[in-house]
């Protein structure tokens, strides 16, 4: 019944607690927080009252669980999320500069979301889809591009 679908990465975000905290020194980190640009997008559209769903992959771990639970609690159709038992859920570590700029270390390519391919797309859940959103940041992987082409 979902009218809007997106495809792309689901991950957790772990943020430095202090501005100016570098990656190469021990520090205090906050998180994990549900994240990933496509997941954030679809969660916000669902909160506007539009039936939505997402196609992605997460690992069979606590990071995958926090994302699935958040999306489901907000009303996102999660039938398109594949849980890959041998992969870890993606992550993004973030530090902030005094200027407001940010630096990231992403674990996407070698994570569950980086394994998303055409085989993970169930066309049956897209039968009522009227809008299919493709996040540009999700096109980092040839497997992901093949999954998008399936639509």
Confirm if 53 and 125 have CB atoms less than 8 A apart: yes
- The pLDDT of residue 142 is above 80: no
Condensed to tens digits (0 to 9), the pLDDT of residues 100-117 reads: 999 999 999 899 999 999
Q: In Å, how far are 18, 72, 144 from 108, measured between CA atoms? A: 24, 22, 12
CATH number of the domain where residue 101 is located: 3.40.1190.20
Identify the pLDDT of residue 91.
98
Of 44, 49, 60, nearest to 6 (Cα)?
44
> In terms of residue numbers, what domain contains 111?
4-149
The pLDDT value given to residue 135: 81
* pLDDT mean over 52-81: 98
Plot region of 127 (φ>0 → left; ψ -120 to 50 → alpha; else → beta): alpha
Backbone angles phi, psi at 106, to 5 degrees: -100, 145
Alpha-carbon span 72 to 53, nearest angstrom: 10
- Give the total number of structural domains in the chain: 1
Q: Are 98 and 20 in contact (CB under 8 A)?
A: yes
Q: How confident is the model at residue 49 (pLDDT cuts 50, 70, 90)?
A: very high
Report the pLDDT value the prediction gives residue 144, as an integer from 0 to 100: 63
């Amino acid at each position: 019944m979902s009218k809007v679908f997106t495809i792309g990465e689901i991950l957790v975000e772990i943020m430095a607690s202090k501005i100016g905290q570098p990656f190469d020194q021990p520090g205090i980190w906050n998180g994990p927080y549900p994240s990933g640009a496509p997941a954030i997008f679809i969660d916000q559209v669902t909160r506007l009252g539009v039936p939505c769903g997402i196609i992605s992959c997460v690992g069979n771990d606590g990071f995958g669980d926090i994302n699935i639970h958040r999306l489901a609690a907000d009303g996102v159709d999660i039938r398109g999320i594949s849980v890959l038992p041998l992969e870890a859920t993606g992550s993004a570590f973030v530090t902030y500069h005094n200027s407001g700029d940010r630096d990231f270390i992403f674990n996407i390519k070698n994570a569950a979301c980086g394994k998303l391919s055409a085989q993970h797309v169930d066309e049956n859940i897209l039968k009522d889809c009227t809008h299919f959103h493709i996040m540009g940041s999700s096109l980092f992987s040839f497997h992901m591009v093949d999954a998008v082409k399936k639509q």
